[in-house]
Amino acid sequence: MVKCSRCDRSAVYVNKISNIAYCKPHFVEYFEHRVRKTIRKYGMVQPGDHVLVGVSGGKDSMALLHLLLKLRGKIPGLEITAVLVNEGIAGYREKTIPNLVNYAERRAVRYVIASFKDYVGKTLDEIVRDSFERELPYMPCSYCGVFRRYVLNKVAREIGATVIATAHNMDDIIQTYLMNLISNSWDRALSLSPVRSSSEEFIVKRIKPFYEVPEKETTIYALLNNLVQLEFVQCPYVKYNVRFVVRKMLNELEEKYPGSKYGLLRSLLELLKMRGKDKPVTKKYTRCVVCGNPASRAICKACLFKAKLGLLKPGEERALYEAARTNPEVARLLRV
Ligand code: SF4
Ligand code: ZN
């Protein structure tokens, strides 16, 4: 039996890189200290902030909610609202929703459940079916990611949130980094910073407090705090996502050569530093001509998808075709 490096209790986790073993209380202390340090280092949260925590009911996001709630006593005026986006994936999301609902009701945490059906017009299952029928070239995870961001932005505006916190951990970040390298998408790789903000008033700051912690540790933290059951539920659309191949590959690499994941994160941070993007990214955005959400082009990706799927409301459709008449970029995007 391995003993905790700090006391006589038995260890629940051994960090293979530092070779430090942790018992339950010392692991919780170490993990929370580490995340608080990231939050402070990147100035993620300020007194008086209203933080929207994006929660799926899975281990990472439940761990983030739990940890941020503990910060409430330490940061004056900090408000927290958990927001769960229900994509509408039969047999999947309904299994994780009770984790949030039970937790939030037990602790009187404010929460909102926002569905694709209400905010986009259809469930993800319906969107995927329509997309195959229309022979559109997009994969389920593209719709899922784009519409999830769209719904979170809308809810953030509705509830007056000043910050959106998501539970992306170090593994998520380096998987995306590697995928961006493979597809030669340097712009996207350079946007993988821990904080994204803008001087534009309509942009809600986005933070990733788990940026520097591996998935293994967020999982242990969630399990030790009884935030989720040790039950494996997998999205049925996983097979369409290259991320899961990259994830498996990185886990195998880490198993053989411990420290590889940190190496990749350091490489990303170095790249951000070289490009002056290690500070909060203050990218210039415009507003989508249809929905007013932040967009890097005249029309946001969500509205483009909605247009292709026939999901725009009559007013939105008018705004889009009006824009297409006067803006060649919008006309081109609609044709592609
Ligand atoms: Fe969404 Fe794809 Fe993740 Fe499923 S696997 S929840 S479709 S991003
Ligand atoms: Zn839009």
For ligand 1, say whether the CB of 77 is within 6 Å of any of its atoms.
no
What pLDDT, on a 0 to 100 scale, did the predictor assign at position 233?
Answer: 77
Nearest to 305 by CA among 157, 155, 127: 127
Q: What span, in angstroms and rounded, lies between the C-alpha atoms of 86 and 52? A: 16
Q: What span, in angstroms and rounded, lies between the C-alpha atoms of 1 and 323? A: 67
| Structure token pair of residue 82 | 């958990």
What pLDDT, on a 0 to 100 scale, did the predictor assign at position 294?
Answer: 79
What pLDDT, on a 0 to 100 scale, did the predictor assign at position 281?
Answer: 52
For ligand 1, say whether the CB of 293 is within 6 Å of any of its atoms.
no
Instruction: Using DSSP, state whether 110 is helix, strand or coil.
Output: coil
Alpha carbon nearest to ligand 1 atom 5, residue: 238
Q: Please count the other Cβ atoms lying within 10 Å of the Cβ belonging to residue 274.
A: 10
Nearest to 193 by CA among 245, 180, 202, 132: 180
| Structure token pair of residue 257 | 């050569």
Ligand 2 centroid from CA 302, angstroms: 6
In one-letter notation, the amino acid at residue 278 is: D
Q: Hey, which of 125, 235, 242 would you mutate to test ligand 1's pocket, going by the most ligand atoms within 8 Å of its Cβ?
A: 235
pLDDT along the chain (336 residues), means of 10: 93 93 97 97 95 96 97 92 97 91 96 97 97 94 95 94 97 96 90 84 89 96 90 83 92 95 96 74 74 84 93 89 84 76
What pLDDT, on a 0 to 100 scale, did the predictor assign at position 334?
Answer: 77
What pLDDT, on a 0 to 100 scale, did the predictor assign at position 188?
Answer: 86
Q: Hey, which of 89, 144, 244 would you mutate to test ligand 1's pocket, going by the most ligand atoms within 8 Å of its Cβ?
A: 144
Contact of 69 with 112, CB cutoff 8 Å: no
Ligand number, closest to the Cα atom of 297? 2
For ligand 1, say whether the CB of 146 is within 6 Å of any of its atoms.
no
What pLDDT, on a 0 to 100 scale, did the predictor assign at position 114?
Answer: 98
What pLDDT, on a 0 to 100 scale, did the predictor assign at position 297?
Answer: 82
* pTM value > 0.85: yes
